[in-house]
A and B are shown apart, each in its own frame.
Chain A
């Protein structure tokens, strides 16, 4: 056990060499809001929700290694306000139709919005034109909901040992693409049991012919807040790397 510590919101938190601030916080059951982070997959730092204040500097908790003596502000009104704004931008940049979405109640983005007290999109909707790919016999790729967190990209590479997804394009043209000759999911090597098929936090990748099977009141975020859910999550302790 290491004697090294950091301080998060005035609480002293131990850490091991090599851990990020996020790793140390989760181990100490301190919740730092996040969407693109999943224990067991390499940190990505793209959603910026885990932005914390380290000795006066704004950084991503999921990518910055913990270092002895760091003083970190996390659960502050100012930071949560910024996180709410980021969440609003994620909503308006895609087409998130919660009322009819089968992921409603199980969606981490939606749960995050509730967690941060988001009541509207604030910004004008982008209404981007995005393509739905239903070519695969058992999976649907609905880009309307994609928040470009790259969890599927990393799960496919690092856990499934494949390379099915990537992000392509710049700025508002960024989108999730499929690594196949035709660009269609049907022509990729993704399979129903792959982690990449199940990891999407917002329902951009879904199992076909299923939906709305869990009654209202028993869905993930009917039972737990996003903080409870992420802290209680079973960590992917036996992550296989495709090069192992």
Chain B
């Protein structure tokens, strides 16, 4: 309940799925304007707690089970922390490249999944279009070529993951200080056989998203936020997904900090706990609790970086920058466009790495002197991902802190929901349009709950409108078959 007695409360509450979903409460003032939006995360995972007391070398394997879409990100962030725990600051060139290859495969498949399977129905058919058709099956019916490209792009990313980790999901790749398997010539050639097609599909995906965004002016202001951005960048400011320094920028592009060693992250980021959500609210210490919230993920990375090291993606980035007239692009729906630029960069980088002779090396593990603390940070598909562990003398985990990407976008998602709700809430009426648009706003961030809640356009929801006196005055529910009915 709101602490403010003058506010009305509207709750959007998924009712059937048991994990990977959120609940939205809109707090209204007397004029029916949305004063505050709360995107509750009602699931509780508890990983930080139950890895306490476990042996440190188990951690990358434990935490990758956080997710079925981007397990590689958790695996690698934890592995980077574990490298530090065993006193290794630099892996062998081959192991570094194998990890990068794995990570690019992961980014490619996760981004492709998000756009083609989850978001393309909204963008191709319109946010308010027929629910029964606005899903991946509808895309396959109306745009079979596009759907097939999406499926194949994702498949290629998964093949890269499988070759390196032995499985498409939840494989085994890292060991403390390195990797457990060299890449064979045969495996490399198998991936190279498909790379030219993948590069073409990735370019098509960028072109499609560029077109969707630039040709729909109504999309530009949708859920738009002039926010700060946080991401990792390479030493010279290039787009970097595996290892680099942290850069935070203000909405005007000026830098708050740059090339910050992520091992000192506790000095620049704090996390606020709010009673109504299990998800914390991180903020940049320098800007404070009120103003320090920021966005992470593809939009943050493409805005923040100075250039992209691969030619095709760099050309796509330049068009993105031109769209923003040289400044940052703050359009929330431009996340999709930025995401596809990263798909292209991932495909080009996979190509480069496969042609690098060092990728076939067999020197895979480095040893060092054990340390008590390890911090691993990586740019996961959804944004900057922090894994921080301390160990006891006996090698068991003493303490763990994870800031997952979606957490960093927590405040931003609330702000976007508020912005959209103000536009589409019609007096005391909950409308289907409101429901649809709220979903689209949240989905742009590709929060890790999107997979479970909207895989086939069947996110079960209940919205309740409660007035200032606490009386329910409207209630609407959407069943998992897509049918909507008023239940009050």
Contact = CB atoms under 8 A, between A and B. Distances in A.
A217 B165 CA distance: 10
B155 to A, nearest CB: 19
B166 A215 contact: yes
Contact of B180 (A134, A135, A209, A214): A214
A216 B167 contact: yes
Contacts of B436: none
A212 B180 contact: yes
A132 interface: yes
B61 A102 contact: yes
A100 B166 CA distance: 15
Interface string A50-91: 000000000000000000000000000000000000000000
A101 B392 CA distance: 20
A212 B175 contact: yes
Interface of B is mostly: loop
Interface in B273-287: none
B395 A209 contact: yes
B396 A132 contact: yes
Contacts of B167: 216
B447 interface: no
Interface string A204-235: 00001111111111000000000000000000
Interface string B126-170: 000000000000000000000000000000000000000111001
Given A102-B61, A209-B176, A215-B181, A140 B166 contact: no
A99 interface: yes
Interface in A193-213: 208-213
Contacts of A212: 57, 61, 172, 174-175, 180
Contacts of A101: 61
Contact of B65 (A100, A132, A210, A214): A100
Interface residues of A, number: 19
Name the residue in B64, B165, B396 with the highest tally of chain A Cβ atoms < 10 Å from its Cβ.
Answer: B396
B394 A213 contact: no
B56 to A, nearest CB: 9
Contacts of A140: 55, 395
Nearest to A222: B166
Nearest to B365: A213
Nearest to B56: A209
Contacts of B171: 216
Interface residues of B, number: 25
B167 to A, nearest CB: 6
Contact of B58 (A102, A135, A213): A102
Interface in A128-150: 132, 134-135, 140, 142
Interface in B46-65: 53-55, 57-58, 61-62, 64-65
B58 A100 contact: yes
A78 B239 CA distance: 61
Name the residue in B55, B171, B174 with the highest tally of chain A Cβ atoms < 10 Å from its Cβ.
Answer: B55
Contact of A211 (B57, B86, B396): B57
A50 B394 CA distance: 38
Interface in A89-105: 99-102
Given A100-B61, A102-B61, A134-B394, A215 B180 contact: yes
Contacts of A99: 61, 65, 170
Contacts of B181: 215
A148 to B, nearest CB: 22
B391 to A, nearest CB: 10
A93 to B, nearest CB: 19
Nearest to B59: A100
Nearest to B86: A209
Contacts of B394: 134-135
Contacts of A210: 57
A193 to B, nearest CB: 20
A211 B167 CA distance: 17
Given A134-B394, A216-B171, A216-B172, A211 B58 contact: yes
A211 B64 CA distance: 15
Interface string A97-125: 00111100000000000000000000000
B62 A134 contact: no
A211 B175 CA distance: 7
A217 B55 contact: no
Given A134-B394, A210-B57, A100 B62 contact: yes
A220 to B, nearest CB: 14
Contacts of A215: 166, 172, 180-181
Contacts of B395: 134, 140, 208-209
Given A134-B395, A209-B176, A216 B57 contact: no
Given A100-B61, A100-B65, A213 B166 contact: no
Contacts of B165: 216
A185 B245 CA distance: 43
A209 B57 CA distance: 6
Nearest to B394: A134
Nearest to A140: B55
Nearest to B178: A213
A217 B171 CA distance: 10
Contacts of B396: 132, 134
Interface of B: 53-55, 57-58, 61-62, 64-65, 86, 165-167, 170-172, 174-176, 180-181, 392, 394-396
Given A132-B396, A134-B394, 15 more contacts: A99-B61, A99-B65, A99-B170, A100-B64, A101-B61, A134-B55, A134-B392, A208-B395, A209-B57, A211-B57, A213-B175, A214-B180, A215-B166, A216-B172, A217-B166
The 10 closest A-B pairs by CB, nearest first: A216-B166, A215-B181, A134-B394, A100-B62, A100-B61, A212-B172, A211-B57, A134-B396, A215-B180, A216-B172
